[in-house]
């Protein structure tokens, strides 16, 4: 019996089909739902959701608040992660990889459980139910810190030390060497860290729900509510489109269309 | 000296922040009381006894593990085949496939979740085991592709040709020559998929059957219904998962480092 001929190229057919069915078509459906509405059971093309979003004070303030929470969380993550990554990368310890490991280890543990544990701690400190915004920001920083430390460490570790020595030889003091050489050279890490923390901080509503006792509605929660509570999938899809535009714009602004997330997800560590 | 003290202090403070909640839960999983109270602690295994007697939670734990293994297994097969296909395809085919493959990686999880909800409700498969598994595969498979592709690039392509010249069929050459060389990438893709699936809440919430729960959805709903304190067994479960995961990840990494230092040529 003759074997069926196959070429290695054909191996991507199942994956291509899978992506078409479960990624491309669903994304097109969001677009379709966003620009249609249902009136008396008939689906018609409309800009009502678009107009509805931008004329609703509540939705716009949710967007603004969510943006603010995400910016503050990202900034704090960067401020906390940079010194840690810097110290680890600069350390002369032989086992600094193991040390790094200890810092980012929690990202392999179910985040819902970790956030619930943080909730217990905040409750103990008397912050729960009184400091909803603060708790949400603490939670975002807690959850996403490893995703900031990892890319920063990777770039700082690879940084060519000859540049730093050259800068020092040319008369730069420690501060100028850092601001003029180290920091600019670590920008790729900073950028990939920001892209990895910013978007989830706008959308991961498990964190805000758990730590604010369901009192804070971030953008991701708003989408969830339109699907599960209000049962208005058209508006939910429109908010998703707006979120996608924001993601696209941050990517464009930071030039972050790279495989950075894989690195941060620790693919290289398993 | 001062510099060193500052460095150590920074690291210590951040580590305290990272591990304080975990430590708190682990310590108080051995407390007799159902509510955490800093002034009172009496050692007991009560919560663990409750946990192992709670057949519902045990069931959910098994569900979560089975789902992760099934989704990761399927994603690994699909993603490995996909990566090999992409690697050997012409650029004009490979590029769009790779590009679309990046969408779930970059996208917000909530958007992926509702997009799948829209699709599956249209074909009457919304909230079924099928939609759940597919949802997790959408989450995991792109990461398998991302793990396998670099290994293909590192591979010596002559070995495959040599196998064909020596009379192997393409399938034989694939399984005996290509797969062994990219196996570390396949394995890390699988492990990554298991982690992603275990960690997931949002996609699970939008694709799972109504009566099915994973640890993530169960705990979230327990908090939502204010049942957090009435199910203290969850504290014991969290503590167990924390300790097991920390041990597993540390061991896996120490072993990886050991074998890496044995063969210094492989990055």
pLDDT at residue A267, as a whole number:
44
Asked if A24 lies within 8 A of B122 by C-beta distance, the reply is: no
pLDDT at residue A114, as a whole number:
93
Instruction: Identify the CA nearest to A76 among candidates A216, A219, A201, A206.
Output: A201
Task: Give a yes or no: residue B13 inside a domain.
Answer: no
User: pLDDT tens-digit profile of A173-211?
Assistant: 888 888 888 888 899 899 989 988 999 999 999 999 999
Domain that holds residue A201: 59-264
- A113 in contact with B at a CB cutoff of 8 Å? yes
**Number of domains composing chain B:** 1
pLDDT at residue B252, as a whole number:
79
- Chain A residue with minimum CA distance to B35: A120
Task: Give a yes or no: residue B90 inside a domain.
Answer: yes
Residues in chain A within 8 Å Cβ distance of B223 = 116, 119, 209-210
Task: Give a yes or no: residue A169 inside a domain.
Answer: yes
Poorest-pLDDT segment among A82-91, A92-101, A203-212, B3-12 = A92-101
pLDDT at residue B258, as a whole number:
66
Mean pLDDT of A156-177: 85
- A141 falls in which pLDDT band (50, 70, 90)? very high
Asked if B24 lies within 8 A of A121 by C-beta distance, the reply is: yes
Provide the mean pLDDT of chain A.
87
User: pLDDT tens-digit profile of B18-55?
Assistant: 999 999 888 888 887 777 777 777 788 888 888 888 88
Task: Give a yes or no: residue A51 inside a domain.
Answer: no
pLDDT at residue B260, as a whole number:
59
Name residue, tokens 């978007």.
A199
Q: Which among A12, A91, A121 has the least Cβ separation from residue B86?
A: A12
- A158 compared with B194, residue with greater pLDDT: B194
Poorest-pLDDT segment among A66-70, B8-12, B78-82, B248-252 = B248-252
- A201 compared with A10, residue with greater pLDDT: A201
Task: Give a yes or no: residue B25 inside a domain.
Answer: no
Name residue, tokens 């399927």.
B74
Provide the mean pLDDT of chain B.
88
Cβ contacts of residue B15 below 8 Å, gap of 6+?
A: A102, A103
- Is it the case that residue A157 has pLDDT exceeding 90? no
pLDDT at residue B147, as a whole number:
93
Task: Give a yes or no: residue A181 inside a domain.
Answer: yes
pLDDT at residue A142, as a whole number:
96
Of all residues in chain A, the percent with pLDDT exceeding 90 is: 51
CATH of the domain at A73: 1.10.3720.10
Here the contacts of A250-256 (C-beta below 8 Å, separation 24 or greater) are: A250/A195, A250/A198, A250/A199, A251/A195, A251/B106, A254/A191, A254/A194, A254/A195, A255/A191, A256/A191, A256/A192, A256/A194, A256/A195
- Chain A residue with minimum CA distance to B7: A87
Mean pLDDT of A155-162: 86
Task: Give a yes or no: residue B82 inside a domain.
Answer: yes
Task: Give a yes or no: residue A75 inside a domain.
Answer: yes
Among A residues 127-166, those touching chain B with beta carbons less than 8 Å apart? 142, 145
**Phi/psi class of residue A6: alpha, beta or left (left: φ > 0; alpha: ψ in -120 to 50)?**
beta
- Is it the case that residue B149 has pLDDT exceeding 90? yes
pLDDT at residue B227, as a whole number:
64
Smallest CA–CA distance, residue B237 to chain A, in Å, is: 9
Specify the pairing of strand A42-45 against strand A36-39. antiparallel
pLDDT at residue A176, as a whole number:
86
* Rounded-to-integer distance, Cα A124 and Cα A140, Å: 19
pLDDT at residue A268, as a whole number:
46
pLDDT at residue B41, as a whole number:
78
Task: Give a yes or no: residue A94 inside a domain.
Answer: yes
- A258 falls in which pLDDT band (50, 70, 90)? low
ipTM over 0.85: yes
User: pLDDT tens-digit profile of B231-263?
Assistant: 778 888 888 899 998 888 888 777 766 665 554
CB A225 within 8 A of CB A217: yes
Task: Give a yes or no: residue B149 inside a domain.
Answer: yes
Q: Which two tokens stand for residue B122?
A: 């249209």
pLDDT at residue B259, as a whole number:
64
How many pairs of residues across A and B have Cβ atoms under 8 Å apart?
261
Structure pTM? 0.88
pLDDT at residue A219, as a whole number:
94
Task: Give a yes or no: residue B240 inside a domain.
Answer: no
pLDDT at residue B228, as a whole number:
52
Smallest CA–CA distance, residue B137 to chain A, in Å, is: 9
CATH of the domain at B194: 1.10.3720.10
Task: Give a yes or no: residue B236 inside a domain.
Answer: no
Task: Give a yes or no: residue A146 inside a domain.
Answer: yes
**Number of domains composing chain A:** 1
- Is it the case that residue A257 has pLDDT exceeding 60? no
Domain that holds residue B204: 55-231
User: pLDDT tens-digit profile of A27-75?
Assistant: 999 999 999 988 887 888 888 889 889 898 999 999 999 999 999 999 9
Task: Give a yes or no: residue A50 inside a domain.
Answer: no
- A249 falls in which pLDDT band (50, 70, 90)? confident
- A269 in contact with B at a CB cutoff of 8 Å? yes
pLDDT at residue A222, as a whole number:
95
Task: Give a yes or no: residue B23 inside a domain.
Answer: no
Cβ contacts of residue A56 below 8 Å, gap of 6+?
A: none
């Amino acid at each position: 019996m003759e074997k069926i001929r196959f070429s290695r190229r054909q191996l991507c057919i199942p994956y291509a089909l899978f992506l078409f069915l479960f990624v491309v078509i669903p994304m097109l459906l969001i677009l379709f739902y966003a620009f249609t509405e249902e009136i008396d059971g008939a689906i018609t093309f409309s800009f009502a959701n678009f107009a509805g979003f931008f004329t609703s004070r509540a939705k716009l303030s949710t967007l603004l608040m969510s943006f603010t929470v995400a910016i503050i969380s990202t900034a704090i993550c960067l401020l906390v992660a940079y010194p840690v990554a810097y110290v680890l990368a600069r350390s002369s310890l032989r086992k600094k990889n193991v040390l790094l490991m200890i810092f980012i280890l929690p990202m392999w543990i179910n985040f819902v459980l970790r956030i619930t544990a943080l909730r217990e701690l905040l409750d103990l400190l008397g912050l729960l139910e009184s400091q909803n915004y603060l708790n949400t920001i603490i939670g975002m920083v807690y959850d996403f810190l490893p995703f900031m430390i990892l890319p920063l460490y990777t770039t700082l570790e690879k940084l060519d030390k000859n540049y730093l020595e050259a800068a020092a030889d040319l008369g730069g003091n420690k501060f100028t060497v850092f601001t003029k050489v180290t920091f600019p050279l670590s920008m790729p890490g900073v950028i990939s860290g920001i892209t990895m923390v910013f978007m989830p901080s706008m959308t991961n509503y498990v964190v805000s729900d758990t730590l604010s006792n369901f009192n804070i509605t971030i953008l991701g929660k708003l989408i969830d509510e339109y699907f599960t509570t209000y049962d208005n999938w058209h508006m939910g899809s429109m908010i998703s489109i707006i979120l996608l535009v924001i993601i696209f714009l941050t990517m464009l602004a930071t030039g972050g269309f790279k495989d950075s997330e894989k690195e941060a997800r620790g693919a290289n560590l398993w | 000296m001062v510099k060193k003290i500052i460095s150590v202090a920074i690291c210590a403070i951040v580590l305290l922040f990272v591990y304080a909640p975990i430590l708190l839960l682990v310590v108080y999983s051995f407390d007799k009381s159902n509510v955490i109270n800093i002034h009172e602690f009496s050692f007991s295994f009560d919560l663990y006894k409750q946990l192992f007697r709670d057949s519902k939670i045990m069931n959910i734990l098994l569900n979560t593990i089975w789902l992760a293994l099934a989704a990761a297994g399927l994603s690994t097969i699909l993603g490995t085949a996909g990566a090999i296909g992409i690697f050997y395809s012409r650029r004009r085919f490979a590029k769009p496939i790779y590009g679309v493959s990046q969408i779930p990686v970059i996208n917000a999880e909530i958007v992926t979740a509702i997009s799948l909800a829209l699709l599956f409700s249209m074909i009457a498969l919304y909230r079924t085991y099928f939609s759940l598994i597919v949802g997790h595969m959408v989450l995991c498979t792109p990461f398998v592709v991302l793990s396998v592709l670099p290994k293909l690039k590192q591979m010596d392509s002559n070995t495959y040709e040599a196998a064909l010249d020596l009379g192997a069929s393409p399938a034989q050459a694939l399984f005996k020559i290509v797969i062994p060389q990219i196996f570390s990438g396949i394995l890390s893709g699988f492990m990554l998929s298991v982690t992603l699936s275990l960690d997931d809440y949002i996609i699970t919430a939008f694709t799972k059957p109504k009566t099915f729960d994973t640890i993530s959805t169960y705990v979230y709903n327990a908090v939502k219904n204010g049942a957090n304190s009435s199910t203290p067994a969850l504290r014991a479960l969290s503590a167990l998962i924390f300790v097991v995961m920390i041990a597993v990840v540390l061991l896996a990494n120490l072993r990886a480092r050991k074998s890496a230092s044995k063969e210094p040529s492989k990055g």
